[in-house]
Amino acid sequence: MIIVSSAPESEQIAANEIYKINPSAKFIKRISHGVCLYDVNIDTFFKSAQIKPPIFIRHIMPVDLVLKLPDYAENSPQLLSPPLNGHSGFNFNTSFSPVFERLTSLPFSVQTRIFCRNSALLTPLLVNNDISEFLENSGNILDVKNPQQIISVIITDTDIYAGLSSPEFNMSKWSGGAPMYSKTEPFISRAEFKLTEAMEVFGVSFKKESSALDLGAAPGGWSKILINAGLKVTSVDPAILSEALAGKVTHVKATAQQFFRNISERECKFDVITNDMKIDYNEAIDILFEAEKFLSGKGIIITTFKLPEKNQQKTAYKAVEILAGKYDVKGARRLFHNRSEVCVVLNKKQ
């Protein structure tokens, strides 16, 4: 079994993606909005997901262990006491052995999500700490920031689900695929988190001194991240940029269409093109087709696509298919920090 997480409003699309990856998958139950339990063969599912990567699924955890909470408490009442003195109240040591036994010597982390209605005192941190402490005492190495194996735990009013997997299997190194970034000063816009998440999810890093073109740049969160990565940035947007960027970027106060009309592809090449313009996805595709001429040989594009209210799945897959005619598509995902949009990463065709 696996537990699949998506944005609550993308739950049905995530289900469609599960059946596309594995037509014999069976829906078992919904744990919360956008968090559903499916019966699949885990190994074949993982292999097939590599070939047909989903866009709307945000996180997958394997279920290696299910503990029924009333039984768990009844058979071993001492195992379940109210969270107290900085502990969760669970004694995981023996009951979690099917998961613990599969741990290797690689650094691990524990990620717990709690969907209980009646247990305000029980927090993910208490559970994470209890399990981590037990495993560290047994010689395992904890690495919360960069785990190579993750114990995922979901606790509901009736069950505890647990599984061990790699961040690649989970599609994220964050609990539930929900990154928690701290704001970097000076904080310009929430959009910053989108680019940070995209770079992390798609494994993008930039060479210092490369040239970047940021389309739809205002107020300037993405431009700030590009500067901080050591890039020389041209920010294109008719709107004004944050004062924090004054003197740090070249601001072209124009639309992307006007900008491309006025530059020469022979003289102007960019190693990185980012696009977060708030425009219809068809228009965005046209602009990205035009942008290809200005992308250097090994250049990369990171772009968002605003999705219409209806037919989001069809639109996202169609946009990716069209772009694949012009670019190598490195990945496409509705990220945690995307609202009604998806993020796509493209490389120049080699």
Ligand X SMILES: C[S@@+](CC[C@H](N)C(=O)[O-])C[C@H]1O[C@@H](n2cnc3c(N)ncnc32)[C@H](O)[C@@H]1O
- Minimum Å gap between C-beta 93 and ligand X is 47
The 3-state DSSP class for residue 7 equals coil
Told to check if 231 binds ligand X by CB under 6 A, we report no
Task: Select from 135-143, 159-167, 201-209, 230-238 the region that touches ligand X (CB under 6 A).
Answer: 230-238
Burial pattern 56-75, b for ≥16 Cβ within 10 A else e, equals bbbbbbbbbbebebeebeee
177 or 219: whose CB is closer to ligand X?
219
66-125 residues near ligand X, rule: CB under 6 A = none
Q: How far is the CB of 335 from ligand X (least distance, A)?
A: 13
Site residues for ligand X, window 260-279 (CB under 6 A)? 276-279
Pick the binder of ligand X from 130, 237, 271, 341 (CB under 6 A): 237
Answer yes or no whether residue 141 interacts with ligand X by CB under 6 A.
no
Considering only the stretches 31-39, 147-155, 163-171, 189-197, report the one whose residues sit in contact with ligand X under the rule CB under 6 A.
Answer: 189-197
Choice from 98, 186, 230, 238 touching ligand X (CB under 6 A) = 238
Chain centre to alpha carbon of residue 192: 14
* Closest by CA position to 214, among listed 274, 126, 268, 281: 274
| Comparison of 109 and 196: residue with beta carbon closer to ligand X | 196
The gap between the terminal CA atoms of the chain, to the nearest Å, is 39
Residue 216 binds ligand X (CB under 6 A)? yes
H or E segment and range at residue 312 = helix 312-324
Q: Which stretch binds ligand X (CB under 6 A): 63-71, 76-84, 114-122, 250-258?
A: 250-258
Q: Does 236 bind ligand X (CB under 6 A)?
A: yes
Q: What would the two tokens of residue 111 be?
A: 């990620």
State which of residues 32, 91, 132, 189 lies at the interface with ligand X (CB under 6 A): 189
Q: 272: which residues sit within 8 A by CB, 6+ positions away?
A: 206, 210, 211, 212, 213, 226, 231, 299, 300, 301, 302
Of 313, 307, 320, the closest CA to residue 11 belongs to 313
Please report the DSSP string for 275-303 in residue order.
Answer: E---S-HHHHHHHHHHHGGGEEEEEEEEE
The position carrying tokens 């989970």 is 170
Total interface residues for ligand X by CB under 6 A: 23
Residues engaged in binding ligand X (CB under 6 A): 188-189, 191-192, 215-222, 236-239, 255-257, 276-279
